[in-house]
Structure 1
């Protein structure tokens, strides 16, 4: 009886490893503390007054970027089963270890491949012709007594609704309608550098200020996406049209570091055509006016210490692999590796 109760209390697997098809349950770093902060009155008060404030992240960063934090590297590698080879490198701090640079290999090239921008857990949704986020066909929902083969987001979480408009703090651009939305959730053991998913040009950028909140499930990620500090980039991918790439900061993340100063060039032709790009000026009214060329797999930037999230909004010119949608419909996140092919351009 006791054994049955124990089995019952174990959480169901919520992640599927794409490489092996194995179902896994991820153990979150500081899971009990996160649960307390989001599910208890005192915890929510402390979160609002202290832990979600930028100064707390700054103070934690001071420690993790000091030599005093080196002692935490070995236990971390052991706890999460990371490669023991990492212990052979002489990192000066846990922060340096966390934001380490590793070789990235692009896999399964093919024609106009679209690659995973980061290592992490992915959810895939469709964007309908009205700019609403929906679960793909096959998920039935009761509406006014009728069964419909879709489920609209924004999600209602603790009385709040979240959508593309709240993520961007602007209307959904026309070029995204009929496209796809991908959410890459990076937890602490994941590699925290990210790449460009295909070759192309970075056209505009915008920083959106916000508080640092957790992007874990207990924090209800759609709320975090609409309120956290984030950086929005408008990319034009060769043969795939335009996409929006959004880096989202989270609790204990010091900064989002992008390498936009690399490979800069002046392209007046593209700047003159910006009014024809289809983006709403309310998204990029103060964005970067220069254009930057990049190659597929080139590093775009990295996150400082903490769990983080990347949201990518794609046009209908990019076809994302069906297994990502199928897993999302089943309530499963798909565990991917950076540089893995997850779709292709139609052109």
Structure 2
């Protein structure tokens, strides 16, 4: 697979993605030798937990400066602790300054839950065949057995995939006002969520560790919010206790690694912004930031 480009919504430019561990990622997913490593590296938790343990150790701080330089991370927007970062994971799950991510305030707007590369799917024609960068997945499998009949709620609905890279702010937030109805954890593998992995046809989103949340959003209705773990992500950390929430309120964060959030909405409940729809139709991810408008809330069906 060649270099990966994405569309920067803020300035209209195409940008080449800087990949942490580029050589290793290409080896693991593009070559036969690398594919022999799939089970020991991605099929079980040991290696990801080992990397997570390292990222929690004080010695891992030595990796912070190089990562900032290699990935071009803007530290001017970061709320650096007075004593500095205790370890690499402390840096990875960094908080931003209060004014770094203003929220699209209108009640009719749905915001991005995270800094991410976004793909949107305005209408789910079939719940059992949703292609994302060469990988296909089934909504019922994505939600898992505890989801029961929830998948049927989203027939003809819409979906977006929010891919977070190692360079990104890794805390995620609620996209609108609402209430958490229930959530459940689905154990799984630890494949990368990068397009290098998706292009192999692996069913990453339905095979990886993930947490599924059933939400009731104000003026919008039922929605699903799925946090997908990935290679080297030591954990999905929930900071939200439950109950009602406000748009932009923090829900949790991902520890070290890349990761993904998938949101699914009922038919007729939202309309994604036209620029996102156009770029997604070209299979081009759009860089958006937490708090930016990504859709307009319209009258939901069945309410």
Q: After TM superposition, is the score higher than 0.5?
A: yes
Q: Report the equivalent of 1:203.
A: 181
Q: Deviations over 1:44-91 (max 9, x none)?
A: 122212354211111111211111111111111112222244596400
Report which of the two structures shows the higher radius of gyration computed on alpha carbons: 1
Q: Report the equivalent of 2:13.
A: 22
Q: Deviations over 1:240-287 (max 9, x none)?
A: 1111000000000011111242xx5xxxxxxxxxxxxxxxxxxxxxxx
Find out whether 1:107 has 2:103 as its counterpart. yes
| C-alpha distance in structure 2 between counterparts of 1:130 and 1:326, whole Å | 20
Following TM superposition, by how much is the alpha carbon of 1:155 offset from its aligned partner in structure 2, in angstroms? 6.6
| C-alpha distance in structure 2 between counterparts of 1:173 and 1:154, whole Å | 17
Q: Report the equivalent of 1:67.
A: 58
Q: Deviations over 1:265-320 (max 9, x none)?
A: xxxxxxxxxxxxxxxxxxxxxxxxxxx10011000000010000001111221221
Q: Report the equivalent of 1:229.
A: 209
Find out whether 1:254 has 2:205 as its counterpart. no
Following TM superposition, by how much is the alpha carbon of 1:130 offset from its aligned partner in structure 2, in angstroms? 4.8
The answer on whether the counterparts of 1:17 and 1:334 sit within 8 Å (CA) in structure 2 is yes
Tell me the SS of whatever aligns to 1:191: coil
Following TM superposition, by how much is the alpha carbon of 1:105 offset from its aligned partner in structure 2, in angstroms? 3.4
| C-alpha distance in structure 1 between counterparts of 2:43 and 2:257, whole Å | 12
Find out whether 1:327 has 2:279 as its counterpart. yes
Query: Which range is displaced more, 331-340 or 83-92?
Result: 83-92
The answer on whether the counterparts of 1:243 and 1:314 sit within 8 Å (CA) in structure 2 is yes
Find out whether 1:169 has 2:117 as its counterpart. no
Q: Report the equivalent of 1:314.
A: 265
Q: Report the equivalent of 1:212.
A: 190
Q: Report the equivalent of 2:114.
A: 118
2:85 to 86, 91, 94: 91
| C-alpha distance in structure 2 between counterparts of 1:180 and 1:238, whole Å | 17
| C-alpha distance in structure 1 between counterparts of 2:159 and 2:80, whole Å | 39
Find out whether 1:305 has 2:256 as its counterpart. yes
Map 1:128-139 → 2, pairs under 5 A: 128=124, 130-131=126-127
| C-alpha distance in structure 1 between counterparts of 2:156 and 2:166, whole Å | 33
Tell me the SS of whatever aligns to 2:172: strand
Q: Which runs of 5+ in 1 are unaligned?
A: 1-8, 134-152, 265-291
Say if 1:293 and 1:63 are closer, same or farther in 2 by CA, change over 3 A: same
1:338 to 290, 293, 303: 290
| C-alpha distance in structure 1 between counterparts of 2:2 and 2:30, whole Å | 19
Tell me the SS of whatever aligns to 1:28: coil
Following TM superposition, by how much is the alpha carbon of 1:113 offset from its aligned partner in structure 2, in angstroms? 1.5
Instruction: Give the number of aligned pairs.
Output: 288
Q: Report the equivalent of 1:136.
A: none
Tell me the SS of whatever aligns to 1:173: helix
Say if 1:130 and 1:62 are closer, same or farther in 2 by CA, change over 3 A: closer
Q: Which runs of 5+ in 2 are unaligned?
A: none
For the aligned residue pairs, the C-alpha RMSD in angstroms reads 2.3
Q: Report the equivalent of 1:78.
A: 69
Tell me the SS of whatever aligns to 2:121: strand
The answer on whether the counterparts of 1:164 and 1:172 sit within 8 Å (CA) in structure 2 is no
| C-alpha distance in structure 1 between counterparts of 2:41 and 2:219, whole Å | 46
State the TM-score, normalizing by the size of structure 2.
Answer: 0.87
State the TM-score, normalizing by the size of structure 1.
Answer: 0.77
| C-alpha distance in structure 1 between counterparts of 2:150 and 2:73, whole Å | 39
| C-alpha distance in structure 2 between counterparts of 1:84 and 1:256, whole Å | 24
